[in-house]
C-alpha cells in the first residue's frame, strides 16, 4: 500500500481530518524518509508503524494542543514531530535543531521538497543556540533524554508562556512536574506538557 493509502487509513483510525494538500505533503515526507533511510539510519520503523508513530501521532497531539506561533524542535533527526506539526499547525516559524550533519541535510531537503515556508534547520546542539531562538511559543522533543542539562537549556530559551512538549514512553521520568500528561490512543506513547 502507498504511503498516502496508509496515511488515510491511520487518519481514519485516529479520527483526524486533513486537507488533501496536507495529506499529499505528509505522504511525500514518508516517501523521502524511506528513500533517505536507505542511506542513513533515520528510523527503524516502516509501513503502518512508521506512518503512525512519525506522522499521525504528532498530528493527534497537534489536534489536542492546538499550538501556534514559533516552534523549536530539539533533536529533529528524522523530522518528527516537527514536520507533521508544521504541516498541520502552520507555525509562523519552525526551528529544527539537529547536531548531525547528514540528518540536518535530510531536514533541509524535506523543507525544500515540501516547500515548507518558515522552517529553519540549525545544525547545532540546542544547548548552544537556545538563547538565540527566543521567544519560543512551543518546544518539542521526542527520542531525546530529558536531562538536567537539557532542562536548563530549555529554561534559557523559554519565556513565561512557552509550552514544552515531551513525547515519550510510559516509563520515563521527567526532571520537573508536568502541568498535563496524556496518552496517544492505540499506542504506548505518552505526552508530557510543561510550562517552565
For residue range 94-115, list pLDDT tens digits in order.
999 999 999 999 999 999 999 9
**DSSP bridge pairs for 32:** none
- The pLDDT value given to residue 90: 83
Full-prediction pTM beyond 0.85? yes
State how many domains the chain has. Answer: 1
- The pLDDT value given to residue 57: 98
Across the chain, the runs of DSSP E, i.e. the strands, are: 70-74, 93-98, 119-123, 136-142, 158-168, 180-183, 190-194
What mean pLDDT is predicted for residues 64-74?
A: 98
* 3-state secondary structure at position 142: strand
What mean pLDDT is predicted for residues 152-168?
A: 95
Q: Which domain holds residue 58?
A: 3-194
Phi-psi region of 125 (alpha: psi -120 to 50; beta: other; left: phi over 0): beta
Dist. CA 73–CA 138, nearest whole Å:
8
pLDDT-derived band at 175 (thresholds 50, 70, 90) equals confident
Dist. CA 184–CA 110, nearest whole Å:
26
The pLDDT tens digits of the residues spanning 128-151 come to 999 999 999 999 999 898 988 999
Q: What is the CATH number of the domain that holds 71?
A: 3.40.50.150
Is it the case that residue 171 has pLDDT exceeding 90?
no
Dist. CA 77–CA 102, nearest whole Å:
9
Amino acid at each position: 500500500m502507498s504511503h498516502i493509502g496508509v496515511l488515510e487509513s491511520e487518519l481514519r483510525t485516529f479520527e483526524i481530518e486533513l486537507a488533501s494538500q496536507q495529506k499529499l505533503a505528509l505522504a511525500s515526507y514518508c516517501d523521502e524518509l524511506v528513500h533517505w533511510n536507505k542511506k542513513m539510519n533515520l528510523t527503524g520503523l516502516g509501513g503502518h508503524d512508521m506512518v503512525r508513530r512519525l506522522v499521525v501521532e504528532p498530528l493527534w497531539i497537534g489536534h489536542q494542543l492546538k499550538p501556534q506561533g514559533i516552534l523549536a524542535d530539539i533533536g529533529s533527526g528524522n523530522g518528527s514531530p516537527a514536520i507533521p506539526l508544521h504541516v498541520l499547525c502552520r507555525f509562523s516559524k519552525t526551528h529544527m535543531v539537529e547536531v548531525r550533519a547528514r540528518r540536518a541535510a535530510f531536514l533541509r531537503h524535506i523543507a525544500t521538497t515540501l516547500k515548507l515556508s518558515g522552517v529553519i534547520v540549525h545544525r547545532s546542539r540546542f544547548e548552544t543556540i537556545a538563547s538565540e531562538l527566543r521567544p519560543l511559543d512551543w518546544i518539542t522533543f521526542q527520542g531525546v533524554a530529558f536531562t538536567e542539562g537539557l532542562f536548563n537549556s530549555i529554561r534559557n530559551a523559554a519565556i513565561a508562556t512557552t509550552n514544552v512538549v515531551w513525547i515519550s514512553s510510559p516509563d520515563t521520568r521527567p526532571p520537573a512536574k508536568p502541568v498535563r500528561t496524556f496518552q496517544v490512543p492505540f499506542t504506548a506513547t505518552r505526552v508530557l506538557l510543561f510550562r517552565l
